[in-house]
Amino acid sequence: MLKWALIFFVISLIAGFFGFSGISAATATIARVLFGIALVIFLIFLVLALLAGQAIL
């Protein structure tokens, strides 16, 4: 998912460089949403891993 966020971010930068502000804003929003989802999933898995580690000890 981070890969897709990075791809959309690069597309946003390229579109912004060439003056396509609408496409740039849309892809930046998509990249931001995908990064947020990936961050939430990472935090959930981190908490689950910490809880599983404590359950074993």
pLDDT for position 53: 85
Q: What is the pLDDT along the chain (57 residues), one digit of tens a residue?
A: 899 999 999 999 999 999 999 999 999 999 999 999 999 999 999 999 999 988 776
Contact 24, 12 (CB under 8 A): yes
| pLDDT value for 19 | 93
Q: Where are the alpha helices (DSSP H) in the chain?
A: 2-17, 21-56
Determine if the pTM surpasses 0.85: no
CA–CA dist 3, 34 (Å, integer): 9
Place of tokens 């959930």: 44
Q: Hey, what are 38's tokens?
A: 């990936």
Q: What is the pLDDT of residue 30?
A: 95
Measure Cα distances from 7 to 10, 12, 21 in Å: 5, 9, 17
Q: Count Cβ atoms below 10 Å from residue 12 Cβ, excluding itself.
A: 21
Residue 17: predicted pLDDT: 95
Q: Where are the domains of the chain?
A: 1-55
